Structure 1
Amino acid sequence: MKAYIVGVGMTKFEKPETRDWQYWDMAKEAGTAALADASVAYEDVQQAAVGYCFQASTAGQRAVYELGLTGVPVYNVNNNCATGSTALMMARQFVEGGGSDCVLALGFEKMARGSLGGGGSDGGAGDFRTSPVARHYGIMAAAHGFEMTPPTAQIFGNAAREHMHEYGTTEAQLAAVAAKNHRHSAGNPYAQFQDPYTVDEVLAAKTVHHPLSRLQCSPTSDGAAAAVVVSERFVDRHGLGERAVEIAAQAMTTDTEDSFASGTCIDAVGLPMSRAAAQQVYAASGLTAADLDVIELHDCFSINELLTYEALGLCGEGESGALVESGATTYGGRWVVNPSGGLISKGHPLGATGIAQAAELTWQLRGEAGARQVPDARTGLAHNIGLGGAAVVTLLRR
């Protein structure tokens, strides 16, 4: 049974503590918008998959209670930075399995100011003895040592150093990713940052962990996003064909031996599992990278956008720096990557990110993206990863 997204909604992503609201307030705003976009009442929702990383157990129930008290099953999801896309995948599986005709996928996060630290579910190094990412940071420490900089920026920054050493990638090419995404976000009213920057300005910003400057790192953010996922018979019964975007294929992978065998940060941060998820999606859909029009990918740091170009097959190994420098991944190029501004500029409330990517692609494929619309977009791909690890790739088509 096919699954379709018929409604999406999100809050503006904002710096933590910008607004005096609770996580259930942002969830209500995003969920209400998604239901209204779908012309669906909450009473039509049969199950809800709710993602977050920093709130307590059963926070998903507290969030959806703001939409209605109908007694539907609520599944609380935590998969690090891939939490939102994991919730979306669960919603799709509920529909495709035939158990439900209408499912809500919801993700939210209320974060603390400043860089992600260690421990908990924040992707930090924490205590090497107990952290779920201890093996990943152990790879980094063996190859590069461990410095007193934010741990996630450190492991991705070291991946950037490896890419520069191995393939001749330049700091300007890394900065070009951030300049592109900040430029794109100027047309996105939901983005946390909407100021464009040049490559030189990105390079001149404060260094977080060489070679990554502050403008090449995704910020901590508050925000929520939601999607209504339904069956084909629900689409037909409710006359939603004009709103429906098909989830044509979707795959989740986790770390394999390839993530650790090389001893590189490039592999430890997820390149192998991203590649595997993309290959599964292409095989299931019968499409390839050449068939894509618009892509929302997980640019938590500028280097990860370059690594993901290679994982998705947009270019060969080591060719991603030249690809972004050529203009192939912006308007007028071969693909438009991160028209929303991506995580770097749109923001990164962990539980909401994956669903926000799907929202952007839904708007793009419907032709509703306004100033950032990709002309004639018919196919879109979302890529979302979390250290620990999980990679979710979703292919949407209209």
Structure 2
Amino acid sequence: MQRCVNVIGVGMSPFSPAALSANSTALVGETARQALADAGLSARDVGCVFAASGLMDGGTLQRALEQTGLGQVPLQPLPKGEDSGGVLLYQACQAIELGLADCVLVLGMQGAPVPLPSLGAELERLGAAARQYMARYQTRRETFAMIAVKARQHAALNPLAVFVAPLTLDEVLEASTLAEPLTHPQFAWPTSGVAAVLLCSAGFARRRGNLPAVRIIAQACVSPAQVAGFDPASVFPCAGYEVHVVAARELYEQAGRGPQEVGVCELHDSSTLSELSLYEALGFCPEGSAEKLVEDGDNTYGGNLVVNPSGGLLSLGQAPAVSGLAQCIELVHHLRGNAGRRQVADVRIALQHQVGPDGTVVTTLYQRE
């Protein structure tokens, strides 16, 4: 019998455009202790550690765990090259749902920004997708740029974000073009950081939790290979669009909820094109109407839905081993009501969407108890 999964503790370091300092062991340990303190727990309460170490060496991870009192706790690391905070979170939830663990620490570490491969072909694909979308729906290039402006407005309220300098619409449009119509500020760039999330069963939360638990009410993990007719060469609206649609549909069906009930969302905005297309793939608006959603302000404060209140990947950067956990942490703060100046009012349902390096999509719905 599957069990309910709760988030009871979170901790995160600031993101950085550079490699973590030489004392990264201390930073990892400090972040893990943040999550434990947040939950009111000690290391002896943790039954298992799930870890994605990014480009960080295994010795750093082991030393950090030892310094935190977790050195003897069973460790479940993701294989090198498969570092995805979203997949890591999914695997940890599965362990609790299946009764394999009662309390799990999920730890993501990106010791250095992931080197980008040659971007020529990828940028051309994204540019082609954006131009095709514009042609089909008469969308203005300004619409994509407005998403980058919104990201910086949200990031200005987030002390852990990297790219926080405000941007005007003209500044985004006049920046160097990387893939017409998309300019430099419309892409998420590599960063590093550390994040920790404590998950537990409902029974454990009742017995030991320090704060009101945030419950995970549904979760879907869909790889491109699982989607019939998936075409990795597709350019409309962006490669892998079908995978996002399937992951969202499965999530809503599991929860018995609909996208109209979501009050806040953290989604994988690797580019402004990605974010625009995800408004439609996740069901927040019909296909072809994302421009209206953006121009009506229904993706920010005062609208029907706040998307990426953290600033998203466009402002925190892409740190594959950490980004999925950072999204979870942001949503937990909103559901608890302690997100400070970023707080989304009266939110009860939150959606997380994250894409792994291999295109696997993990979607998660959270609910305030």
Per the TM alignment, residue 208 of structure 1 is displaced from its structure 2 partner at its CA by: 2.2
Match of 1:336 among 291, 306, 310: 306
* Equivalent runs, 1:1-398 vs 2, <5 Å: 1-17=3-19, 20-21=21-22, 23-56=24-57, 60-61=61-62, 63-77=64-78, 83-112=84-113, 116-118=116-118, 149-240=119-210, 242-255=211-224, 256-260=227-231, 263-266=233-236, 269-398=239-368
Letter in 1 for 2:15: F
Map Cα deviations across residues 73-118 of structure 1 (whole Å, 9 max, x no partner).
21222597971011111111111111211001111112248x6125
| 1:211 to 1:178, Cα distance in 2 relative to 1, 3 A | same
The percent of aligned pairs where both chains have the same amino acid is: 37
SS of residue matched to 2:17: coil
Distance in 2 of aligned mates of 1:80 and 1:176: 34
Counterpart CA distance in 1 for 2:196 and 2:31 is 6
Structure 2: runs of 5 or more not aligned: none
Q: Could you list the per-position Cα deviations for residues 13-38 of structure 1 after superposition, in whole angstroms to 9, with x for gaps in the alignment?
A: 11114x52355343223212111111
CA contact (8 A) 2:237 2:277 kept: no
Find the residue that maps to 1:233 and give its secondary structure. Answer: helix
Change (3 A) 1:266 1:80: farther
Contact 1:248 1:396 in 2 (8 A): yes
Cα distance in 2, alignment partners of residues 90 and 355 from structure 1? 13
Asked whether the 8 Å contact 2:238–2:277 carries over to 1, the reply is no
Deviation sequence 1:7-66 (CA, Å, 0-9, x none): 11111111114x523553432232121111111112211111112443456875455334
Equivalent-residue separation in structure 2 for 1:203 and 1:169 (angstroms): 15
Change over 3 Å in CA distance of 1:237–1:202 after alignment to 2: same
TM-aligned CA distance change 1:239 to 1:299, over 3 Å: closer
- Structure 1 vs Structure 2 CA RMSD: 2.2
CA 74–187 in structure 1, closer or farther in 2 if over 3 Å, else same = same
Equivalent residue of 2:145, what SS? helix
Q: Which residue identity is paired with 2:323?
A: T
**Residues 269, 66 of structure 1: alpha-carbon distance in 2 compared, 3 angstrom cutoff:** farther
The answer (yes or no) to whether the contact 2:109–2:195 under 8 Å persists in 1 is yes
Contact 2:53 2:83 in 1 (8 A): no
Alpha-carbon contact 1:245-1:365 (below 8 Å) kept: yes
Alpha carbons of 1:198 and 1:97: their partners in 2 closer, same or farther (altered >3 Å)? same
Give CA-to-partner distance per residue, 1:263-316, whole Å, 9 cap, x none.
422366321111111111111111110000100000010110011111110111
Q: Which amino acid aligns with 1:243?
A: P
Structure 1 residues 20 and 366: CA distance shift in structure 2, 3 A: same
Instruction: Give, in whole Å, the separation in 2 of the partners of 1:151 and 1:386.
Output: 19
- The amino acid that maps onto 2:28 is A
Amino acid at match of 2:294: V
Distance 2:200 2:15 in 1: 26
1:133 is aligned to none
User: Cα gap change, 1:150/1:355 in structure 2, threshold over 3 Å: closer, same or farther?
Assistant: farther
Equivalent AA in structure 2 for residue 204 of structure 1: E
Structure 2: distance between partners of 1:222 and 1:324: 29
CA distance in 2: counterparts of 1:239 and 1:107, whole angstroms: 22
* Bigger Cα displacement from structure 2, 200-209 vs 186-195: 200-209
- The change in CA–CA distance for 1:387 and 1:15 in structure 2 (over 3 A counts) is closer
**Alpha-carbon separation, structure 1, partners of 2:102 and 2:113:** 37
> Does structure 1 retain, via aligned residues, the 8 Å contact 2:222–2:247?
yes
Mark the CA change 1:317 to 1:223 in structure 2 (over 3 Å): closer, same or farther.
same
